[in-house]
């Protein structure tokens, strides 16, 4: 793991939710991911951390959880999520760097990381931070972009792309957009303190010609039938995993929640529209209901 700060993919000012999901013709992908989430996510829990929450597309699917923390680096995305979900005690909005999560150790009983790992230049560092914030036995639902998908394999065999889908190294096909090999992700999960429990192969039919000529509900039903094949082989463009946090790590004491991402002190005192770290005196603002730790 590098000692330098990895670059961050920042969606500040982006209309990603509208341009990519609403107008981008991705109803099939959204429904397929909903099926995968319902299959893997525990039915209930106390405190869930949604990493890379964006505009809250998936947040309403966590209906069995008492509280959900939406974390994203972009204030714009979190503001859109708040407009969608409302401003209440069930949702906590946090703008922060995933490589410096502002939470005490052992806080969450569940975490989700969907369409987020593919922006990680240092995925091991990110997963180490996620594991640190989870209680022993907590569940992580991790989705990743799979470089060894059928389309990539065919393109490589017919010399339509230069990079090999069979090599274990990640490929950066656009700036801060990475595809990962399944074996690499499984190794990363083990190395960062997780035990892989289940894999689903998702979005097998992510082709424009299929989405144009076949009904969405048919594609979704076929995808649902094929998703369990992910436990044996991963040839889809997206793979969902369910893992359990293992090892003897502490659970957060009652009453502790945030910690300073600079000095790591766990006592932040509220003061007007901010939190002030009692360790380094750093002031972290609260902007219209969003905790800003950037």
Q: Does residue 2 register a pLDDT over 90?
A: no
Q: How many CB atoms lie within 10 A of CB 39?
A: 16
Taking alpha carbons only, the member of 109, 87, 4, 97 closest to residue 51 is 97
pLDDT of 23 reads: 86
Q: Residue 75: which pLDDT band, with cuts at 50, 70 and 90? A: very high
Per residue in 78-100, pLDDT (tens digit) is 999 999 999 999 999 999 999 99
pLDDT digits (tens, 9 = 90+) for 106-142: 999 999 999 999 999 999 999 999 999 999 999 999 9
Mean pLDDT of the residues in the chain: 96
- Every domain of the chain and the residues it spans: 16-255, 258-294
Query: In Å, how far are 54, 79, 209, 226 from 25, measured between CA atoms?
Result: 18, 24, 12, 21
The residue length of the chain stands at: 294
Domain 258-294, CATH among 2.130.10, 3.30.1890, 2.20.25, 3.40.50: 2.20.25
Mean per-residue pLDDT for 16-45?
95
Distances (CA, A) of 274 to 26, 105, 264: 38, 22, 17
List phi, psi (to 5°) of 219: -60, -40
Q: Determine the Cα–Cα distance for residues 275 and 262; give it in Å rounded to an integer.
A: 13
pLDDT band, very low/low/confident/very high, at 51 (cuts 50, 70, 90): very high
Each as own residue / partner, the long-range contacts of residues 56-65 (CB below 8 Å, 24 or more positions apart, any chain) are 56/80, 56/81, 56/82, 56/84, 56/85, 57/17, 57/21, 57/30, 58/33, 58/112, 58/114, 59/84, 59/85, 59/91, 60/85, 61/34, 61/37, 62/112, 65/110
Q: What confidence tier does 1 reach under pLDDT thresholds 50, 70, 90?
A: very low
Q: Is the pLDDT of residue 152 over 70?
A: yes
Between CA 57 and CA 215 the distance in angstroms is 22
pLDDT recorded at residue 249:
87
DSSP symbol at 86: -
- With cut-offs at 50, 70 and 90, classify the pLDDT of residue 3: low
Mean pLDDT of 191-207: 97
User: For residues 139 and 285, what is the distance between their CA atoms, to the nearest angstrom?
Assistant: 30
Report the C-alpha gap between 202 and 15 in whole angstroms. 25
> What pLDDT, on a 0 to 100 scale, did the predictor assign at position 98?
98
- The model carries a pTM of 0.95
**Computed from CA positions of residues 42, 25, 74, 274, in that sequence, does the dihedral angle turn out positive or negative?**
negative
pLDDT at 144 over 60: yes
Residue whose token pair is 């969606």: 11
CATH class of the structural domain 16-255: alpha beta
Confidence (pLDDT) at 4: 79
pLDDT tens digits along 212-264: 999 999 999 999 999 999 999 999 999 999 999 999 889 999 999 999 999 99
The three-class DSSP label of residue 194 is: strand
- Within 114-259, strands assigned E span 134-145, 171-174, 177-179, 194-202, 238-245
pLDDT of residue 138: 98
pLDDT grade for 53, boundaries at 50, 70 and 90? very high
The DSSP line for 92-141 is EEEE--GGG--B-TT-EEEEEE-S-GGG-SSHHHHHHHHHHHEEEEEEEE
């Amino acid at each position: 793991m590098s000692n330098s700060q990895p670059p961050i993919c920042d969606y500040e000012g982006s209309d990603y939710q509208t341009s990519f999901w609403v107008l981008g013709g991705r109803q099939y992908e959204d429904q397929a991911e909903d099926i995968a989430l319902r299959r893997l996510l525990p039915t209930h829990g106390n405190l869930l951390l949604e990493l890379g929450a964006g505009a809250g597309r998936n947040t309403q699917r966590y209906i069995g959880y008492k509280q959900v923390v939406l974390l994203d680096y972009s204030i714009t995305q979190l503001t859109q999520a708040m407009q969608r979900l409302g401003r209440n005690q069930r949702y906590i909005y946090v703008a922060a760097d995933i490589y410096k999560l502002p939470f005490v150790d052992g806080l969450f009983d569940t975490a989700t990381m969907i369409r987020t790992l593919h922006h990680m230049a240092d995925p091991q560092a990110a997963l180490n931070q996620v594991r640190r914030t989870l209680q022993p036995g907590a569940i992580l639902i991790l989705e990743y972009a799979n470089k060894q998908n059928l389309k990539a394999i065919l393109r490589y065999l017919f010399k339509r792309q230069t990079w090999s889908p069979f090599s274990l190294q990640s490929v950066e096909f656009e700036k801060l957009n990475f595809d990962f090999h399944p074996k690499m992700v499984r190794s990363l999960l083990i190395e960062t303190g997780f035990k892989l429990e289940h894999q689903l192969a998702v979005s097998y039919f992510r082709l424009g010609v299929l989405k144009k000529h076949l009904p969405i509900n048919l594609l979704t039903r076929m995808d649902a039938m094929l998703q369990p094949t992910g436990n044996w082989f991963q040839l889809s463009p997206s793979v969902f995993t369910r893992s359990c946090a293992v090892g003897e790590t502490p659970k957060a004491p009652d009453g502790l929640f945030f910690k300073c991402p600079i000095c790591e002190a766990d006592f932040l005192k509220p003061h007007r529209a901010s939190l002030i770290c009692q360790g380094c005196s750093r002031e972290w603002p609260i902007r219209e209901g969003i905790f800003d730790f950037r």
